Structure 1
Amino acid sequence: MPSSKPTVLITGATGQIGGDTLRRLRADDTITLVAAVRSPAQAAAFEAQGVRSVLLDFDREETLAPALAGIDRALLVTGYTVDMLRQSKAFLDQAHLAGVRHVVHLGACGPDDTTVAHWAWHQLVERYIEWRGFSFTHLRPETFMQNLLSYGGTQVVQAGLIRQFVGDARLSWVDAEDVALAAAQALLHPERHAGYTYRLGYDAKSYHEIAAVMAEVLGKPFRYEPVAPEVFLENMRAAGAEMAYMHCVYDHYKRYAAHTLPGADDVFDNFPGIAGQEPVRWRQFIEKHRAAFDY
């Protein structure tokens, strides 16, 4: 007899948000959990943990239909390239054919009228999810606090020095683990979270202010040194990054630094209603990651 439990697919299961979401859901016996992976080696790792896996590669469209067969709910997490538009459409088309009912989409910052290009790409995906007729929950995290741990595989805070590209702008921040908690709740309880767009940002601070909190918590000097956004662009080009996306990031760094992004430091009070607890704020995040920031 087939299981009456809803089957939940986690894309991005080997990444930060997808991986954290999957870990939060593993112990819940009200669902059947499935990890989407791109290789047999990744599949074997999940199977060893008792987690069912399916082969799904956004760039190999022939993998989509088999991976989505029998799925009831899905977390959609795409990579940081302009290909996310094509990938998301192909995934959602196949999800619609497969009878997936609820989609939780990991999007990006911003209000509905944003003109930041890569934020707007995510909003186009949101509209496509709605047009396709899915029950949905849209997650729009503000800037991840984890960006202070590493970015692009590079340590960001080195011997008390933070070098970033947004001048003295105040940004709205969220712990990525809180984003995963919101995703998990939306996947477990679509009846509560369907139809909502959750903007997730809970502590507004500039890098100067973050450095001051680090110094207070850790008892050592920390300081922030602003760097021209052009340096970021050249670093990404040298690293061989996908430059269509990185030009968008460069553009929004410039707009942050020029204070021409309205609402960049907006914070929200929705997290207790989503997750039943308070969100992590900077002091708590620094305490939690003390070993990574200390020197």
Structure 2
Amino acid sequence: MKILVTGATGIVGRHVVDQLVQAGVSVRALTRNPAAAQLPPQVEVVEGDLTAPAGMAAALEGVEQMYLFSVADSAREVVTLARQAGVRRIVVLSAASVTAGLHTNPVEQAVEESGMEWTHVRPCGFMTNMLQIWAPSIRAERVVRYPFADEPMNLIHEADIAAVAVAALLEDGHHGRAYTLTGPGLVTVREQVAAIAEALGEPVRYEEVSRERARELMKAQGGFAAESADLMLGFVEYGGEAAGGADGYAEQDWSALMRVWPDVEQVTGRAPRGYAEWARDHLADFR
């Protein structure tokens, strides 16, 4: 058995690779820059880009299962090449917002129409998203500046997303399923900051700021923070359209994302990791 992991150096992809290696599976990892991949030595690392599927033929050769990072524009071409290469099972990294009906995912649609076995993994917000936004100010000042102090969020540990994906790749019985993945409970920004402080063993100050001020700070930070600011703070909806309500979310129904789903435990046999565990796992990033 050989499994191709696309997005192999990403937040979830690295965990998928590591967990497959631990399971004793032959793994081929697709990345744009193999020299910088820093994956386990037993992994076959190949160069490739999902946005340029014509160059993926070699990466797909001999592959039976595939973990597919969602790239909408080239999805149908990638899926067609996979089917032609003999891939029989695909697990798609999608999003819980699809379950909520906030948008559709053309990658899901392409895979469903392919005739191959498929499973969709739909996580809610990543706990790690805030790492990239908050870590610089925590390291420099031991402070977090962000709005929504006491509004509950549904967040998930990236290792749990990978665990469900790996189960769907290796086990039978997951074909035709879409798993919505959440953590064990809702958590507020204030509680997240407190969990990080507890992991550090040092005070971390929380300063609630307006959405507008948070947007300024994130845009100035650059990188992921700047790119995701408008969506995370509610200035745009999924799909990039301007948000309709005064708070940025009024025109969308988020109720499906505000409940705890049982899918992680049903698939893996254990409860999902909580935010405090995530904070401990990422302690070095905050130091």
TM above 0.5, one fold? Answer: yes
Once the 2 structures are TM-superposed, how far is the Cα of residue 10 of structure 1 from its aligned partner? 0.4
C-alpha contact 2:145 2:207 (8 A) present in aligned 1: yes
Q: Which range moves more in the overlay, 141-150 or 213-222?
A: 213-222
| Deviation sequence 1:241-268 (CA, Å, 0-9, x none) | 8x99875554249679556342242211
Once the 2 structures are TM-superposed, how far is the Cα of residue 38 of structure 1 from its aligned partner? 2.2
Question: Aligned pair 1:10/2:10, yes or no?
Answer: no
C-alpha contact 1:233 1:247 (8 A) present in aligned 2: no
Equivalent of 1:94 in 76, 81, 86: 81
Question: Aligned pair 1:26/2:18, yes or no?
Answer: no
| Deviation sequence 1:89-133 (CA, Å, 0-9, x none) | 221121122221111111112253523xxxx25x23212211112
Q: 1:265 corresponds to which letter in structure 2? A: M
Aligned to 1:74: 66
C-alpha contact 1:143 1:173 (8 A) present in aligned 2: yes
Cα gap change, 1:229 to 1:182, in 2 (>3 Å): farther
Report the TM-score when normalising by structure 1: 0.78
C-alpha contact 1:167 1:257 (8 A) present in aligned 2: no
Aligned to 1:3: none
Equivalent of 2:120 in 118, 138, 142: 138
Q: Residue 79 of structure 2: SS of its match in structure 1?
A: helix
Question: Aligned pair 1:251/2:236, yes or no?
Answer: yes
Q: Residue 236 of structure 2: SS of its match in structure 1?
A: helix
Distance (whole Å) between structure 2 residues aligned to residue 77 and residue 130 of structure 1: 15
Cα gap change, 1:231 to 1:246, in 2 (>3 Å): closer
Query: Between the two proteins, what is the percent identity of the paired residues?
Result: 24
Equivalent of 1:107 in 94, 101, 126: 94
C-alpha contact 1:167 1:256 (8 A) present in aligned 2: no
Cα gap change, 1:274 to 1:41, in 2 (>3 Å): same
C-alpha contact 2:128 2:157 (8 A) present in aligned 1: yes
Q: Which range moves more in the overlay, 128-137 or 284-293?
A: 284-293
Equivalent of 1:276 in 264, 269, 284: 269
C-alpha contact 1:33 1:51 (8 A) present in aligned 2: yes
Q: Which range moves more in the overlay, 127-136 or 231-240?
A: 231-240
C-alpha contact 1:214 1:222 (8 A) present in aligned 2: no
Question: Aligned pair 1:228/2:236, yes or no?
Answer: no
Query: Structure 2: which 5+ residue stretches go unaligned?
Result: none
Q: 2:126 corresponds to which letter in structure 1? A: F
Question: Aligned pair 1:199/2:180, yes or no?
Answer: yes
Cα gap change, 1:276 to 1:98, in 2 (>3 Å): same
Aligned to 1:81: none
Distance (whole Å) between structure 2 residues aligned to residue 87 and residue 176 of structure 1: 25
Distance (whole Å) between structure 2 residues aligned to residue 237 and residue 179 of structure 1: 30
Once the 2 structures are TM-superposed, how far is the Cα of residue 286 of structure 1 from its aligned partner? 2.6
Q: Residue 42 of structure 2: SS of its match in structure 1?
A: coil
Distance (whole Å) between structure 1 residues aligned to residue 129 and residue 215 of structure 2: 14
Distance (whole Å) between structure 2 residues aligned to residue 240 and residue 127 of structure 1: 30
Give the superposed CA RMSD.
3.4
Q: Residue 150 of structure 1: SS of its match in structure 2?
A: helix
Aligned residue-pair number: 274
Q: 1:287 corresponds to which letter in structure 2? A: R
Cα gap change, 1:206 to 1:193, in 2 (>3 Å): same
Distance (whole Å) between structure 1 residues aligned to residue 246 and residue 165 of structure 2: 27
Query: Structure 1: which 5+ residue stretches go unaligned?
Result: 1-5, 79-83
Cα gap change, 1:176 to 1:238, in 2 (>3 Å): closer
Q: 2:121 corresponds to which letter in structure 1? A: L
Aligned to 1:286: 279
